[in-house]
Amino acid sequence: MIGCGVVGTGVFRVLAEHGELIETRLGAPLEIVRVAVRDPSRVRGELVPREKLTTDVDAILEDPEIDVVVELVGGVERPFEWLKKAMERGKHVVTANKAVMAVRGEELIAIAEARGVDLIYEGAVAGGVPILRVIREAFASDKIVELRGIVNGTSNYILTRMSEAKLSFQEALAEAQAKGYAEADPSLDVNGGDACHKLTLLARLAFGAKIRPEDIPTEGIDIVDARDMELARRFGYVVKPLAVASIRTGALDARVHPALVPARSDLAAIHGATNAVHVEGALVGPTMFSGAGAGAEPTAVSVVADIIDVARNILADSAGRVAPGCVLGVAIREFPRLPPEELSLPYYIRLSVDDDAGVLAEVASALGQNRVSIEAVVQTVQEAERSATVVLLTHEARETDVRAALALIAELPALREPPVVLRIVR
Ligand code: HSE
> What are the tens digits of pLDDT across the range 49-102?
999 999 999 999 999 999 999 999 999 999 999 999 999 999 999 999 999 999
For ligand 1, mutation pick of 155, 189, 242, 270 (most atoms within 8 Å of CB): 189
Strand partners, 287: 279
Distances (CA, A) of 176 to 162, 192, 215: 12, 15, 28
Model confidence band, residue 105 (pLDDT cutoffs 50, 70, 90): very high
The phi and psi torsions of 200 (rounded to 5 degrees) equal -60, -45
| 355 CA distance to ligand 1 middle (Å) | 43
Q: Residue 45 domain-assigned?
A: yes
Residue nearest ligand 1's atom 4 by CA: 294
Q: Are residue 162 and residue 306 in the same domain, yes or no? A: no
> Of all atoms in ligand 1, which is nearest to the CA of residue 198?
8
In a domain, residue 189? The reply is yes
Co-location of 228 and 121 in the same domain = no
Same domain, residue pair 82 and 138: no
Ligand 1 atom showing the smallest separation from residue 275 Cα: 6
Catalytic residue at 84?
no
Cross-strand bridge partners of residue 238: 261
Please give the number of the atom of ligand 1 that sits closest to the Cα of 181: 5
pLDDT of residue 335: 86
> Which ligand 1 atom is nearest residue 182's CA?
1
The helix/strand/coil state of 156 is helix
Is there a single domain that holds both residue 42 and residue 77? yes
Do 76 and 96 lie in a common domain?
A: yes
Asked if 212 and 102 count as a contact pair (C-beta separation under 8 A), the reply is: yes
| 184 — pLDDT class (breaks 50, 70, 90) | confident
Cβ–ligand 1 distance for 71 under 6 Å, the answer no
**229 contacts 163 by C-beta, under 8 angstroms:** yes
245 within some domain: yes
- Clarify whether residues 267 and 281 are in a common domain: yes
Percent with pLDDT over 90 in the chain: 90
pLDDT band at 340 (very low <50, low <70, confident <90, very high): confident
Which residues face 354 on adjacent strands?
387
- By residue range, what is the domain housing residue 105? 6-129+296-326
User: How far apart are the CA of 83 and the centre of ligand 1, in A?
Assistant: 21
Q: Write down the pLDDT at residue 343.
A: 93
Stretch 318-342: mean pLDDT:
74
**Cα 31 to averaged position of ligand 1 atoms, centre (Å):** 27
Residue 249 lies in a domain: yes
Tell me the pLDDT of the chain averaged across its residues: 94
Query: Tens digits of per-residue pLDDT, 109-133?
Result: 989 989 999 999 999 999 999 999 9
222-266 pLDDT tens trace: 999 999 999 999 999 999 999 999 999 999 999 999 999 999 999
Q: Would you say residue 333 lies in a domain?
A: no
Taking the alpha carbons of 25, 31, 37, 41 in that order, is the dihedral positive or negative?
Answer: positive
378 or 324, which is more confident:
378
67, 29 contact by CB (below 8 A): no
Q: How far is the CA of 70 from the centre of ligand 1 (A)?
A: 18
Provide the number of structural domains found in the chain.
Answer: 3
Helix ranges restricted to H, 332-398: 359-369
Which ligand 1 atom sits closest to the C-alpha of 195?
6
Instruction: Kindly state whether residue 331 falls inside one of the protein's structural domains.
Output: no
Q: Which residues contact 64 (CB under 8 A, 6 or more apart)?
A: none
Question: Is the distance from the beta carbon of residue 291 to the nearest atom of ligand 1 less than 6 Å?
Answer: no
Report the nearest atom of ligand 1 relative to the CA of 125: 8
Cα separation, 237 vs 425, whole angstroms: 10
What local confidence, expressed as pLDDT, does residue 125 receive?
A: 97
Q: Which atom of ligand 1 lies at the shortest distance from residue 183's CA?
A: 1
Of 167, 180, 81, 166, residue with least CA distance to 127:
180
Query: Cα separation of 5 and 353, whole Å?
Result: 49
Same domain, residue pair 51 and 161: no
Is the CB–ligand 1 distance for residue 182 below 6 Å? yes
pLDDT at 332: 77
- pLDDT for residue 307: 97
Helix (H, G, I), strand (E, B) or coil at 78: helix
Regarding whether 148 and 113 lie in a shared domain, the answer is no
Q: Which of 85, 98, 198, 240 is catalytic?
A: 198
Number of H helices, E strands in the chain: 13, 16
113/234 same-domain check: no
> Over pLDDT 70: what percentage of the chain?
98
* Residue 75 near residue 303, CB atoms below 8 Å: no
CA 423 to chain centre: 18
Q: How many CB atoms lie within 10 A of CB 234?
A: 10
Higher pLDDT, 193 or 140: 193
Query: DSSP secondary-structure letter at 122?
Result: G
- Residue of 185 and 424 predicted with greater confidence: 424
120 with 146, same domain: the answer is no
Q: Is residue 273 part of a domain?
A: yes
Q: What angle do CA 119, 128, 279 make, to 5 degrees?
A: 85
Nearest residue (CA) to ligand 1, atom 8: 294
Task: Count CB neighbours of 137 within 10 A.
Answer: 12
Ligand 1 mean position, distance from CA 267 (Å): 17
> What is the rounded distance in angstroms from the CA atom of residue 68 to the CA atom of residue 311?
8
Cα–ligand 1 centroid distance for 271 (angstroms): 14
Q: What is the mean pLDDT of the segment spanning 274-284?
A: 97
Average pLDDT estimate for 389-412: 97
Q: Give me the CATH number covering residue 22.
A: 3.40.50.720
Same domain, 203 and 162: yes
Choose one of 6, 121, 194 to mutate for the ligand 1 pocket test, by most ligand atoms within 8 angstroms of C-beta.
Answer: 194
Q: Tens of pLDDT along 10-61?
A: 999 999 999 999 999 999 999 999 999 999 999 988 899 999 999 999 999 9
Q: Is 306 in the pocket of ligand 1 (CB under 6 A)?
A: no
Query: Quick check: CB of 241 below 6 Å from ligand 1?
Result: no
Q: What is the mean pLDDT of residues 156-161?
A: 97
pTM of the model: 0.95
CA dihedral sign, ordered 52, 55, 56, 57: positive
| 302 assigned to some structural domain | yes
Distance 181 CA to ligand 1 centre (A): 5
Is residue 122 lining ligand 1, measured as CB closer than 6 Å? no
Does 293 sit in the ligand 1 pocket, CB within 6 Å?
yes
- Does the C-beta of 195 come closer than 6 Å to ligand 1? no
In a 13 Å sphere around the CA of 308, the CA atoms on its Cβ side amount to 20
Query: What is the 238 CA–ligand 1 centroid distance (Å)?
Result: 21
CATH number for the domain that contains residue 253: 3.30.360.10
Distance CA 354, CA 416 (A): 7
The CATH number assigned to the domain holding 404 equals 3.30.70.260
What dihedral do alpha carbons 15, 20, 21, 25 form, nearest 10°? 110
Judgement on whether residues 107 and 196 belong to the same structural domain of the protein = no
311-322 pLDDT, tens digit per residue, is 999 999 998 876
